[in-house]
Amino acid sequence: MNCDDFREILALYVGGECDEDERIVVEAHLAVCSECSREVEEHREARAALLQLREESPRTETVWKGVRHRLFPIRTLGTDWLVRAAAVLVVGVAIGFLGVMIAHRDPAPAAASGARPLIGRGAGVSTPGNAPRSRFVDSSQDSEFPYEHERRKTTSPRRDGGFYLPRAESAGSGVDRDF
């Protein structure tokens, strides 16, 4: 590998973004290459300057406080507490309502969904272990498949008991290959 190859990742190295293997290779190269070492120093100086710039910036909350006082003069507690109490009451009632709805749900769908996790519990079939609870996983960051049919929300794979069949999080006609 030559200096051009190393220059591609020197900024990552300074930012601590390299993995362990890359770090070792880069440090071995820096020990013998003054040009790349100089470049690393420049990266470090630029990084330090950026950090300093960030620290010297006015804190946004301080700025906002000044603006807010001018735009919305402080009101006395006259009617404010009434609004707050009403909001708390509404939220409380909503939570209570949702709780009652969940508690009184028809058990049939729950039983049906209980038979559907990745590692399922079969109706009438003895099951070792506990049924895993599903949770959402967002796979929207996946960008490898150009013609992707993607399920954004899928049950999380777990193997803590039961019958095994992993769920595909996404599928497509992959045109690229890693080898």
Nearer to another protein among residue 46 and residue 123 (C-beta): 123
User: Any idea which residue has 């807010």 for tokens?
Assistant: 68
Counting contacts by CB under 8 A, is residue 22 touching another protein? Answer: yes
Applying CB under 8 A, among 42, 80, 116, 138 the residue interacting with another protein is 116
The H or E element that residue 7 is part of is: helix 3-14
Q: Alpha carbon 122 to chain centroid distance?
A: 33
Counting contacts by CB under 8 A, is residue 165 touching another protein? Answer: yes
User: Any idea which residue has 């710039």 for tokens?
Assistant: 53
**Which residue spans within 38-155 are E strands per DSSP?**
136-138, 149-150, 153-155
Nearer to another protein among residue 64 and residue 136 (C-beta): 136
Nearer to another protein among residue 39 and residue 117 (C-beta): 117
Core vs surface per residue 83-109: b (16+ CB within 10 A) or e: eeeeeeeeeeeeeeeeeeeeeeeeeee
Degrees, nearest 5: CA angle 125-155-97? 95
Number of residues located near another protein, criterion CB under 8 A: 58
Ramachandran area for residue 162 (φ above 0: left; ψ -120 to 50: alpha; else beta) = left
Counting contacts by CB under 8 A, is residue 177 touching another protein? Answer: yes
Counting contacts by CB under 8 A, is residue 125 touching another protein? Answer: yes
Options 53-61, 63-71, 75-83, 162-170: segment touching another protein (CB under 8 A): 162-170
**Tokens for 112?**
């049906």
Counting contacts by CB under 8 A, is residue 136 touching another protein? Answer: yes
Nearer to another protein among residue 68 and residue 167 (C-beta): 167
Nearer to another protein among residue 81 and residue 147 (C-beta): 147
Residues that bind another protein (CB under 8 A): 1, 5, 8-9, 21-22, 25, 101-102, 105-106, 109-110, 112-113, 116-120, 122, 125-126, 128-129, 133-134, 136, 139, 142, 144-145, 151, 153-155, 157, 159-179
